[in-house]
């Protein structure tokens, strides 16, 4: 199977947050860019659009991104959604998954190859580990949707490499460059696309005293957790004023050439 037009949908996970690159739109690269580059290396002439916006919940992703994606006539679509819903005080999983199921059915009905994701297993993540049961429900729902519609499934929950803290950015909410590279490999492998991507080298893990760990946790809570909670309480999102990184299909060969300069 070959691909010529790839459209990525979703939230911060797909936008590329945590994989900083000031030279690129919204200042990030991300796994979807890496997948697009690999697709172009494998098949040539690939076009790529990325409609993902950080902070979006599942229904806004569906409402704002699915129809524009279909209008682009892609032969490959990736969709990641639901994580921001789980982090809200309450969530109706039946309603959420039914809404997503209908959207995935619509995308599959176009004839495109569709890839969806389970969420990450937060079992060993401070604070977010308390929500592990919620994420597990969402993961199983995503697996059922993939089975029902014959989509490609990237089972993020079962990729144990992401238990390594070096796969995560300093905000502990988004993947690091190494994490985004590992996710790109997982997506390409799930699609059966030949590629040359390899895991990025990981830095040594610093040895910290208990006092240093506590100080680090406190700094993280002040710099990242508190602002994140504040935005949720105000009904705001870090992506409210951001455009999609690539709202229309662009030639990946041109992007690769620009990034090499």
User: What DSSP line would sit under 34-67, residue for residue?
Assistant: HHHHHHHHHHSS-EEEE---TT--HHHHHHHHHH
Residue ranges of domains in the chain, CATH in brackets: 5-206+243-256 (3.40.50.1110)
Phi, psi at residue 116, to the nearest 5°?
A: -125, 170
pLDDT at 234 over 70: no
Q: Whole-angstrom Cα distance, residue 11 to residue 81? A: 7
Q: Which residues contact 200 (CB under 8 A, 6 or more apart)?
A: 177, 178, 181, 182
pLDDT at 232 over 70: no
Res 123: pLDDT: 84
Residue 75 near residue 113 (C-beta atoms within 8 A):
yes
- pLDDT > 70 in the chain, percent: 87
Distances (CA, A) of 82 to 42, 48, 71, 181: 31, 23, 23, 22
Higher pLDDT, 231 or 17: 17
**Mean pLDDT computed over 80-92:** 91
In this prediction, residue 203 has a pLDDT band, given cuts at 50, 70 and 90, of: confident
The number of C-alpha atoms within 13 Å of 233 and in the hemisphere containing its C-beta is 6
- Mean of the per-residue pLDDT values of the chain: 90
Res 261: pLDDT: 43
Of the listed ranges 16-20, 22-26, 208-212, the least confidently predicted one is 208-212
Higher pLDDT, 30 or 124: 30
Of the listed ranges 64-73, 209-218, 244-253, the least confidently predicted one is 209-218
Q: Whole-angstrom Cα distance, residue 25 to residue 22? A: 8
Residue 183 near residue 199 (C-beta atoms within 8 A):
no
**Mean pLDDT computed over 50-54:** 97
Res 225: pLDDT: 65
**Mean pLDDT computed over 224-234:** 64
pLDDT at 62 over 90: yes
Res 257: pLDDT: 76
Q: Whole-angstrom Cα distance, residue 185 to residue 192? A: 10
152-154, strands of its sheet edge to edge: 152-154, 113-117, 76-79, 5-9, 47-50, 246-251
pLDDT at 188 over 60: yes
Q: Whole-angstrom Cα distance, residue 30 to residue 12? A: 9
Supply the pTM of this predicted model. 0.91
Q: Whole-angstrom Cα distance, residue 250 to residue 238? A: 25
pLDDT at 251 over 60: yes
């Amino acid at each position: 199977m070959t691909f010529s037009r790839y459209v990525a949908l979703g939230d911060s996970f797909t936008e590329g947050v945590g994989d900083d690159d000031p030279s690129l739109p919204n200042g990030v690269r991300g796994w979807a860019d890496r997948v697009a580059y690999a697709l172009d290396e494998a098949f040539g002439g690939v076009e790529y659009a990325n409609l993902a916006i950080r902070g979006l919940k599942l229904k806004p992703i569906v409402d704002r991104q699915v129809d524009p994606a279909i209008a682009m006539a892609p032969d490959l679509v990736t969709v990641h959604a639901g994580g921001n819903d789980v982090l809200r005080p309450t969530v109706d999983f039946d309603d959420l998954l039914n809404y997503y199921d209908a959207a995935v059915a619509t995308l599959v009905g176009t004839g495109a190859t569709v890839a969806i994701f389970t969420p990450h297993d937060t079992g060993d993540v401070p604070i977010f580990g308390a929500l592990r049961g919620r994420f597990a429900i969402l993961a199983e729902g995503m697996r059922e949707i993939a089975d029902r519609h014959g989509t490609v499934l990237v089972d993020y929950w079962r990729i144990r490499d992401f238990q390594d803290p070096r796969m995560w950015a300093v905000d502990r909410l988004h993947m690091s460059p190494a994490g985004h590279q590992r996710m790109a490999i997982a997506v390409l492998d799930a699609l059966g696309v030949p590629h040359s991507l390899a895991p990025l080298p990981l830095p040594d893990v610093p040895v910290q005293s208990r006092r240093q760990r506590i100080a680090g946790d406190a700094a993280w809570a002040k710099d990242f957790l508190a602002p994140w909670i504040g935005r949720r309480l105000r009904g705001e999102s870090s992506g409210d004023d951001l455009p999609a990184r690539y709202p229309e299909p662009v030639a990946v060969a041109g992007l690769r050439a620009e990034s090499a300069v």
